[in-house]
A and B are shown apart, each in its own frame.
Chain A
Amino acid sequence: MKRTVLAAALLPCLAIAASFDSGKTLGGTNSPIVLEVFSSFDCPHCKEMHDDLVPLLVRDYVVSGRVCLVNREFPLAGSGHPYARAAALYATAAARIGKYSAVADALWKSQATWAINGQVWETVATVLTAAEQKKVQALAKDPGVEAEVRHDIDEATRDNVDRTPSIFITAGGRRFMLPGGVPNYELLSSVLNHYLGQ
C-alpha cells in the first residue's frame, strides 16, 4: 500500500509533460512548483546534489506532490569531459523505457570509475535486463534522443547556464535560476516554503 502511494506520488508531472521528458520527472500532477535541475553525469557537484539533496527534496516535497522535479541534461563539454555526452544519451534513452532513475543512479554511483575509464555503457548495462539493453542501445542512436539532449543544452545555454548543477524554480508564474552550485537544503527549503505560502 505504502509503495503504491509512493509510486502514485512520483508519477511524472503531467502538467508539464508537454515541455519536459516525462520519463525524467518526479512529482505530483499539479505541483505548484517545478524544479528543473540541469546536470552533467560526470560532474562531482551534481553527484553531491543527487546523493545528498535530491533524496531530501523527494521526501519532503515531491512525495507530497508539492514539487515536481525535472532532470535535464547539460553534459559538460571539452577535453575534461569526454564521456558526459554519452552518459546523457544513455540516460535519456533509458528514460524512454521508464528506466531513467535506475540508469541515472548507476551513473552517479560509479561516476568516479566511468568518467575516467570511459566504460559508460558497461555501467548502464548493470541495471538493465538483456532486452532493455538492446532497446537502450538502439534508442541511444535514435536522432530523437540526440535531439532531446540537444534541446536541453540549447535551452540551458539560452538561459545563460554555463555550469552544473544549475537549478531553475518555476513558481507563482515566474521562472528563475538559483545561485550556482549545490544549495544549502535549509535555504532551498525556505524558498520552496515561501512559494508554497507556508
Chain B
Amino acid sequence: MTSSSKTLRAVMLVLRIALGAVFVYAAWTKLRTPWELFAMSIDSYQLLPLKAVELVARTLPWFELAVGLLLIAGFCLRSASAATALLLAVFFGLMVRAYAKGMEINCGCFGANDIISWKTLLRDGSMLAAALALTVLSFVQRRNATAR
C-alpha cells in the first residue's frame, strides 16, 4: 500500500466516523422524543403540507440512523456517502432559504433549541463539504482498486 493510499484511507476513516456519529446522534435526538416534535420543526419551514410533514418526521430519523451506521461501519460506502451528501445538500439549501427569508425557526437538526443562524449554516455547510469530499474519495478509492 502506497503512502498516498494510506493517507486517503485515513482521511476517509476520519470523515466517515465523524459524519456517521453526527448522523446517529441527530437520529437519536429525534427518536427519543415523540415524532411530532420533529414534525413541528419541519412544519415551521412552511414548505410541505401536513401529511408530507408527518411522513418526513416519521421516516427521516430512521434514514439518518441507517446512513450513520453504514458510514461508521464503512459498508456500502459510496452509496452511504452519496446519500449523506444529498441529504445535507437538501438540509443546507432549506436552512439558507429560511435564513435569507429572516425566518427565526428551529433548524430541526439536533432537538428543539437549535435556531437557524450563521453558526448553524457554517456547521451544516462544513458537514456538506465533508460529505462531498467523502463521496468523491470513496469513488476515487473504488476506481483505484478496480485499476489495480
Contact residues of B between 35 and 91, Cβ < 8 Å to A? 36-37, 39-41, 43-44, 50, 53
Task: Report the nearest A residue to B103, measured CB to CB.
Answer: A181
User: CB-CB < 8 A to A7: which residues of B?
Assistant: none
Asked whether, in the complex, the Cβ of A176 is within 8 Å of the Cβ of B33, the reply is yes
Looking at A96-104, A132-140, A184-192, the stretch in contact with chain B turns out to be A184-192
Answer whether residue A81 sits at the interface, using C-beta atoms and an 8 A cutoff: no
Asked whether, in the complex, the Cβ of A180 is within 8 Å of the Cβ of B44, the reply is yes
Asked whether, in the complex, the Cβ of B113 is within 8 Å of the Cβ of A183, the reply is no
Q: Smallest Cβ distance from B53 to chain A, in angstroms?
A: 8
Interface size class of B (residues with CB under 8 A): 10 to 19
Interface string of A161-198 (1 = CB under 8 A from B): 01100000000000011111101101110110011000
Interface size class of A (residues with CB under 8 A): 10 to 19
Task: Report the nearest B residue to A163, measured CB to CB.
Answer: B104
Q: Of A162, A163, A181, A187, which contacts B36 at CB under 8 A?
A: A187
Answer whether residue A79 sits at the interface, using C-beta atoms and an 8 A cutoff: no
Q: Of B40, B104, B108, B115, which contacts A178 at CB under 8 A?
A: B40
User: CB-CB < 8 A to B138: which residues of A?
Assistant: none
Q: Smallest Cβ distance from A120 to chain B, in angstroms?
A: 25
A178 and B112 CA atoms in complex are apart in Å by 6
Task: Report the nearest B residue to A161, measured CB to CB.
Answer: B113
Most buried by A among B40, B44, B106: B40
Most buried by A among B36, B53, B105: B36
Answer whether residue B34 sits at the interface, using C-beta atoms and an 8 A cutoff: yes
A6 and B106 CA atoms in complex are apart in Å by 36
Asked whether A184 and B115 contact (CB < 8 A) given A179-B105, A194-B34, the answer is no
Asked whether, in the complex, the Cβ of B37 is within 8 Å of the Cβ of A181, the reply is no
Asked whether A186 and B50 contact (CB < 8 A) given A191-B34, A191-B36, A194-B34, the answer is yes
8 A-B contacts, Cβ less than 8 Å apart? A162-B115, A163-B104, A177-B112, A179-B37, A180-B106, A180-B113, A180-B115, A191-B36
Which residues of B come within 8 Å of A, CB atoms?
33-34, 36-37, 39-41, 43-44, 50, 53, 104-106, 108, 112-113, 115
For the complex of A and B, the 5 pairs showing the least CB-CB separation, nearest first, are: A179-B106, A179-B41, A191-B36, A179-B40, A190-B36
